[in-house]
Structure 1
């Protein structure tokens, strides 16, 4: 039954994208159908086949080993602050980002990542009906991050038209960076993280192809592909990536403090008002209310209706704050079915939230003032599309959970 509901859900999510389309007549449904089929095959492979499960296990083990090595540096600096038997989120979850970021910098410096990004981007461009630039950017975003990826495109930014810029930024918001994946592994099951990363890569193109359909001139596309970066020594690069990783950890930590405190405040205020109005008969708060709003959408992903309000609350929390806050909330909810936990977990693995509008537009504005303003103007449409990507990925993953 959940598969039938999920299929209906995918149709609804695609229809919502079509409502926001800038050119409905020129949507190329053959590419969308192909990418949806690829998503289904990949979800089945990663979640249900022995080879796929082993691959996910290998990735999880690899990140587990890296996190262990990261703890050596963390313990040296912060070991005295650790509380015995207690888990410190900043130290255990966020600080390993510094080490993972350094490794990414080394792979980038050795020209290993650019080769991987270009090869995968070229292959994906053969099935998505878009240009190599868009395909390159989607893969690069999943490795470098939603703001860092545009540094590799700074020479091309002045020449990228608005319609292509939307697709580039949509891909960036729909994915997550490799440096932060290890942190997710400590909060939700690795199979859901890996599945979400892979499905979102194609989901971003599906939604962008509906909301923002266009054809790319191949000659112009070749002219735009240029991934040259500024020349740095090895230790200049290493220092830059280490500091970038620490900045990410601190920024995420600061946002968590602010958002969780605000949500707690809203829960208290709204809960107090509801208790007063109902005479204490209703034990609802702010998150309960947004859960009711998102419950129908959660149900359309194949989540049982009995779990839909709690699941919808977590989904909405992610949209209003960020994925870390929502993952923390997911860990607190008791009684959710395995399918609900799995579907919500996949939904949470993306940068689709309100703060990302500012992060992406700010990153681009620092490189090109005019293009940054363009992105800010279609920010809400960007968030709408990226959120639909999360819903579709979660729904398809739910077929096999």
Structure 2
């Protein structure tokens, strides 16, 4: 039954993208064939090949080392709130874990390391390889290929900076693909953070999240090209420096400053969004109970998104719970959805469903990210701001469909 559900999702999700296309007559059958083929090949290699499994195990050890290193810094600055030895005996072992002081500062360390790796020309080499792979397999242009590859490693605003001189020359389809890629993947700065949160929920979380970003890239290109087909020649492009620096220390300093901005945004959004969800749930609580339980935003989202959860291969008995997480990710953000996933009772979802959701939630497709993208891209190419705004809501839909397709593919081959 799960196999049939997955195959249904593999057909229905691209079909839905085509049905809401702005030009259905420009359909090119090679787009879904190439996109799905590349997704399946990447998923099989990354999830089944022993070489990559060994690599991901090592990456998990790197994650633990990064967590310990970050805790050394937070413990020194914040004391026991940051992980240092407590001056008193805690009655509850979890009472000393403060998210803002223990987990979130990992963003600062990763941001600084990413900047340093760009300065050392390590990440650009990886980006160029993945760009070449996407260009050859999906037939996309050089500029879009570079933007797509960069999205796997940096954020939705940083990756367009790598091809900033070409943004004004991108075709409408290429621009939409770039926006969709930003919505369908997550930045390396938060990838490690989410992996640290998911430790114990699934095995080898950093390997799965990295795999999710890698195989969501071709899905994003495919879905975006079904919704906004390409009708013009592509744009050539070469990789440029994200932020030219003169030394490794300057790269670390710049990366830390950028990470601090991101950390502040994450903390502020978490406070506001959790408060708004609580306020809305209090308002819904005034309405009559349904089936003996009070209404809540999570229940409403669960009912709305349950069919999408089912076509990914999740059993119907768990589809409403899964749909609630998918809805939380879309309306609020993926961090809150992952936190909700962590807090679920052990019997709420089976191991396979948790794994599928880990992949399906791994993307920035939400309204908060849309604001960030519109502000960032709009400032880079102000002459195309109206076009970017017009494509904004579509990019959320396309990014969501891309991550759902990724979850479907993983459910089929796991």
The alignment's TM-score, normalised by the length of structure 1, stands at: 0.92
Is 1:196 paired with 2:196? no
* C-alpha separation in 1, matches of 2:239 and 2:352: 43
Is residue 46–residue 56 contact of structure 1 (8 Å, CA) maintained in 2?
no
**2:117 — aligned with what?**
107
Is 1:255 paired with 2:269? yes
What are the superposed Cα offsets for residues 266-311 of structure 1, whole Å, 9 maximum, x if unpaired?
Answer: 2222133133xx6x93333221111111111111111000100010
Matches within 5 A, 1:209-288: 209-214=225-230, 217=233, 221-222=235-236, 224-228=237-241, 231-234=244-247, 235-275=249-289, 281-288=292-299
Is residue 38–residue 137 contact of structure 2 (8 Å, CA) maintained in 1?
no
Query: Compared with structure 1, are the counterparts of its residues 155 and 187 closer, same or farther at alpha carbon in structure 2 (3 Å cutoff)?
Result: same
* C-alpha separation in 2, matches of 1:193 and 1:232: 30
Question: Aligned with 2:338: secondary structure?
Answer: helix
* C-alpha separation in 1, matches of 2:379 and 2:409: 37
Is residue 67–residue 182 contact of structure 1 (8 Å, CA) maintained in 2?
no
Is 1:4 paired with 2:7? no
Consecutive unaligned residues of structure 2, counting only runs of 5 or more, are: none
* C-alpha separation in 1, matches of 2:401 and 2:377: 23
RMSD between aligned alpha carbons? 2.0
* C-alpha separation in 2, matches of 1:193 and 1:230: 26
Matches within 5 A, 1:62-77: 62-77=62-77
> Which of 142, 164, 167 lines up with 1:154 in the alignment?
164
What are the superposed Cα offsets for residues 141-160 of structure 1, whole Å, 9 maximum, x if unpaired?
Answer: 11121111122222222322
* C-alpha separation in 2, matches of 1:121 and 1:341: 30
> Which of 278, 300, 303 lines up with 2:311 in the alignment?
300
* C-alpha separation in 1, matches of 2:232 and 2:284: 50
What are the superposed Cα offsets for residues 107-153 of structure 1, whole Å, 9 maximum, x if unpaired?
Answer: 11122222221222012200012112111111111112111112222
* C-alpha separation in 2, matches of 1:378 and 1:8: 28
**2:21 — aligned with what?**
21
Query: Which structure is higher in helix share?
Result: 1
Query: Compared with structure 1, are the counterparts of its residues 150 and 38 closer, same or farther at alpha carbon in structure 2 (3 Å cutoff)?
Result: closer
* 1:215 positional shift: 5.5
**2:371 — aligned with what?**
358
Is residue 14–residue 32 contact of structure 2 (8 Å, CA) maintained in 1?
no
Matches within 5 A, 1:167-182: 167-182=177-192
* 1:230 positional shift: 5.5
* 1:390 positional shift: 1.0
Is residue 108–residue 260 contact of structure 2 (8 Å, CA) maintained in 1?
yes
* C-alpha separation in 1, matches of 2:179 and 2:268: 24
**1:322 — aligned with what?**
333
* 1:226 positional shift: 4.8
